[in-house]
Amino acid sequence: SQQGEEDPQALSIQEGENATMNCSYKTSINNLQWYRQNSGRGLVHLILIRSNEREKHSGRLRVTLDTSKKSSSLLITASRAADTASYFCAYNTGANSKLTFGKGITLSVRP
Amino acid sequence: SAVISQKPSRDICQRGTSLTIQCQVDSQVTMMFWYRQQPGQSLTLIATANQGSEATYESGFVIDKFPISRPNLTFSTLTVSNMSPEDSSIYLCSVGEGRDTQYFGPGTRLTVL
């Protein structure tokens, strides 16, 4: 399967702590994206990092990409209870617009 | 970013029946996609909805089971035909331009009894 793999599958932290989620993939990619899904609702796009970028920031989010290791990490700093959700990485291989999604990580932030 | 709506937001259906899900975008977009998310699982691409031509289906999905229409650049429908309980999932449409960000609708939660 070409599906991405995230780890850990589930993460539980205290409010205020940082949360780090990892994603690995198996093919060459054009870009990698992270999405959040609250309680089985629609996906919210968080951040996109291109294959020629190594790090990107957006507010409390920091994404890194290591194409040599075929891996990416999403760091959420100073977590809040509202960050409780499922997080998915998804990547585009460049052949077309299709995205391949990872299995997802469930993040719980305890107040 | 595009604003996407889906109808219905949820439905409970009897096995053997069909349900058509609508996806409406507030602007013209080139690419529209349909995904399925089975309970507790990740998203799997069903097909790319092509305007003016037949949809492009991914491996494991066929037109007879998931017919798709895309009459213009802002609207698409996905029909789940002859449903069984295994079709119980969230169905999501998304839109994108080029190889960049895809934006997702709120999803349709389908339960088949």
CB < 8 Å to A45, chain B: 1, 101-104
Mean pLDDT of A28-55: 92
Report the alpha-carbon distance of residue B82 to residue B64 in Å, rounded: 9
Name the residue in chain A with its Cα closest to that of B101: A48
CATH architecture of B29-96: Sandwich (2.60)
CB < 8 Å to A100, chain B: 45
Q: What share of chain B is helix, strand, coil (3-state, %, to 5)?
A: 5, 50, 45
Query: Can you give the pLDDT at residue B101?
Result: 83
First-to-last CA distance in chain A?
37
Domain ranges of chain B: 29-96
pLDDT band for position A97 (50/70/90)? Answer: confident
Query: Can you give the pLDDT at residue B86?
Result: 96
Query: Can you give the pLDDT at residue A1?
Result: 47
pLDDT band for position B99 (50/70/90)? Answer: low
% of chain B at pLDDT higher than 70: 98
Query: For residue B12, which of B85, B78, B110, B81 has the smallest C-alpha distance?
Result: B110
What's the whole-number average pLDDT of chain B? 93
For residues A5 and A24, the answer to whether their CB atoms sit within 8 Å is yes
**Under CATH, domain A5-110 is a member of which superfamily?**
Immunoglobulins (2.60.40.10)
Q: Is B33 on the interface with A (CB under 8 A)?
A: yes
